[in-house]
């Protein structure tokens, strides 16, 4: 049974959230992702003695998920296993189709960060029917009974550390905008482009915004771009992830990026 290969896995909620901000330490080189601008196909596994795992995240071009992928790959290849990577580009229907392709290719298990935590259910059911265990990574699915394990960061603490920092930055209070993705129970799938569009609309209707809390760093960078184009200079913008671009912004004393709740994709992977 394929499920036996997950005997060594345990459910983990990493408490790895720390605040990276205040224009100080912006992280270490090993956390800086190098995004690969190409789709990755299955390696020839006919002669492999190890297992074949699938990896499907929200968007491989998000540096966070690229680092998770490379961390997983390193652990697997050290044991003689193979990783098949599919990129749905933020499209849940494409993700479901690609997971079916993995099933057809005969993978032994799938690492999954769902584009939509609820709409991904048909893929979970197909994997369950095929007796292929799901290692749910970072963004938890709604139907947890269809997964073997969940491994992720403490997303609640990510918001808490940013909120605590904001209280020190704005002791007298103010108007705060929350940018999030309601179809995910973590916001790692929110894109820079969509956040920029929404933030521009918000600023046009509410010019007196004091701070913006974003579900991930990509959304924060989109909000930053919208704020700049709107002629703003004093917003305090927060993200979550600790991505290379955000770390770069944090070295700029004039940047409106205030801080980010930093996660460790290496540890998660």
pLDDT confidence bin for 64, thresholds 50/70/90:
confident
**Can you give the pLDDT at residue 85?**
97
**Can you give the pLDDT at residue 79?**
95
In the chain, % of residues over pLDDT 70: 79
Q: What's the whole-number mean pLDDT along residues 77-93? A: 96
In whole angstroms, what is the distance from residue 60 CA to residue 64 CA?
A: 8
pLDDT digits (tens, 9 = 90+) for 167-201: 999 999 999 999 887 655 556 456 888 899 999 99
CA–CA distance from 165 to each of 213, 236, 258, 261 (Å)? 11, 10, 9, 10
Q: What's the whole-number mean pLDDT along residues 81-99? A: 96
**Can you give the pLDDT at residue 142?**
94
CA–CA distance from 140 to each of 20, 83, 118, 143, 185 (Å)? 24, 21, 10, 9, 7
pLDDT digits (tens, 9 = 90+) for 198-249: 999 999 998 899 999 998 898 999 999 999 999 999 999 999 888 889 989 9
Is it the case that residue 37 has pLDDT exceeding 70? no
Q: What is the pTM of this model?
A: 0.68
**Cβ proximity of 164 and 150 under 8 Å:** no
- Average pLDDT of every residue of the chain: 84
In whole angstroms, what is the distance from residue 33 CA to residue 31 CA?
A: 6
pLDDT digits (tens, 9 = 90+) for 126-159: 999 999 999 999 889 999 999 999 998 888 898 8
In whole angstroms, what is the distance from residue 21 CA to residue 49 CA?
A: 46
Let me know if 28 is exposed, middle or buried by CB neighbors in 10 A (0-12, 13-18, 19+). Answer: exposed
């Amino acid at each position: 049974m394929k499920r036996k290969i997950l005997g060594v896995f345990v459910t983990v909620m990493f408490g790895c959230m720390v605040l990276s901000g205040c224009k100080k330490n912006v992280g270490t080189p090993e956390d800086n992702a190098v995004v690969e601008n190409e789709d990755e196909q299955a390696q020839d596994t006919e002669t492999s003695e190890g297992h074949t795992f699938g990896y499907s995240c929200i968007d491989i071009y998000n540096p966070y998920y690229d680092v998770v992928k490379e961390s997983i790959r390193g652990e697997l290849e050290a044991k003689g296993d193979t990783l098949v990577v599919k990129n749905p580009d933020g499209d849940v229907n494409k993700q479901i189709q690609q997971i079916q392709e993995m099933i057809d290719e005969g993978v032994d298990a799938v690492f999954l960060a769902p584009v939509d935590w609820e709409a991904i259910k048909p893929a979970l059911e197909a994997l369950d029917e095929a007796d292929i265990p799901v290692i749910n990574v970072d963004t938890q699915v709604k139907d947890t009974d269809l997964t073997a394990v969940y491994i992720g960061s403490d997303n609640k603490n990510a918001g808490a550390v940013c909120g605590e920092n904001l209280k020190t930055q704005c002791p007298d209070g103010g108007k705060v905008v929350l940018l999030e993705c309601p179809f995910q129970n973590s916001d790692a799938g929110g894109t820079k482009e969509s956040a920029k569009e929404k933030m521009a609309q918000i600023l046009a209707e509410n010019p007196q915004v004091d701070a913006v809390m974003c579900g991930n760093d990509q959304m924060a960078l989109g909000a930053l771009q919208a704020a700049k184009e709107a002629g703003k200079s004093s917003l305090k913008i927060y993200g979550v992830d600790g991505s290379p671009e955000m770390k770069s912004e944090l070295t700029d004393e004039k940047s409106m990026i205030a801080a980010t709740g930093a996660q460790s994709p290496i540890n998660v992977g």
